[in-house]
Amino acid sequence: MARRGLASGIVTAAALLFLFVPLGVVVLFSFHSTGGLTLPFEGFSLRWYEDVFGDDVFLEALTNSVILAVATAAITVVLGTAAAFGISRSTTRLRGPVHVLFLAPVLLPGLFIGAALLSFLSRLEIEPSLATVLIGHVVFTFPFVFLLIKTAIDRLDVSLEEVARDLGAVPTRVFRKVTLPQIAPVLVGAASLAFMLSFDEFLITFFVIGTEQTLPTYIFGRLRRTVDPGINVASTMFLAVTMLAWLAAAIATLRAARTDRATVVLNGAESRPPIANGAER
């Protein structure tokens, strides 16, 4: 039985190598003492880091990306939470179409969203800028955030809120003290997700950005000119920020999962049937 899964296990190991080795190589060469990107590796040095961090354009791009990502996360989580409650807790016929609208951006690749947005803004004679990029990011990340939060809301135990109201709490208090704590881990997870999606976003950004830069457009621009270890540095910084955000999301999710499991066990959903009375002494 232990030999089962050998073939798929090998494929899995190979796939994981395939996914992570190239990234490892990028990070490795950001520390290369020479300017080459070939083996053999000739020694560690931080010169490229000094180079890139001395570049004002890079710093500006990094800052812009972080600000955009934080703004996107904040806006989508707020809009998304409101929208998720709106859809979950109401019963009008408009629910269906609006729900479709909320998930629709997922259907179009970035190219199309970017192009459409550019055309539209152009028509309204709005100049491309970081603000328009923000709009693009919010539109793009909204479906993911919305779906995540809505799933969490649907799994809420409504009876807890009813108990609170029964005990005299006003709706806003109920929300703050009963509902919010329960969905808080998911909100953190959704915010991290929005942060990561926005931070990494390039396809739409490229269409609707003005003269400023985000980290992806910086890398793109630099990549166009030449292939050099400076890009490795920018990439490594990129990965570092993303991994931090991902860690935050992972921790929040794991904590949420632990509380979930406790509830499920209490509900007896996973318990075995009780031992028959014959076992009593």
Nearest residue to 72 via CA among 140, 153, 146: 140
State which residue, 110 or 182, has the beta carbon closest to another protein: 110
Q: How far is the CB of 210 from another protein (least distance, A)?
A: 13
Q: How far is the CB of 21 from another protein (least distance, A)?
A: 9
CA torsion angle 18 24 25 27 (round to 10): 150
Which residue's CB is nearer to another protein, number 91 or number 172?
91
CB of 255 to another protein, least distance (A): 14
> What is the C-alpha to C-alpha distance for residues 188 and 179, in angstroms, rounded to an integer?
14
Burial of 83 (0-12, 13-18, 19+ CB in 10 A): buried
* CB closer to another protein, 126 vs 262: 126
Instruction: Select 168 or 226, whichever has its Cβ closest to another protein.
Output: 226
Angle at 76 between CA 72 and CA 79, to 5 degrees: 145
Q: ∠88-91-93 over CA atoms, to 5°?
A: 115
**Looking at 127-264, which runs of residues are DSSP E strands?**
none
| Residue 32, beta-bridge partner list | 44
Helix (H, G, I), strand (E, B) or coil at 127: coil
Closest approach of Cβ 93 to another protein, in Å? 9
19 CB neighbour count, 10 Å cutoff: 9
The residue (of 67 and 106) whose beta carbon lies closer to another protein is 106
Q: How far is the CB of 196 from another protein (least distance, A)?
A: 5
> CA 181 from chain center: how many Å?
21
Nearer to another protein, 13 or 67 (CB): 13
Q: How far is the CB of 254 from another protein (least distance, A)?
A: 8
Greatest CA span in the chain, whole angstroms? 85
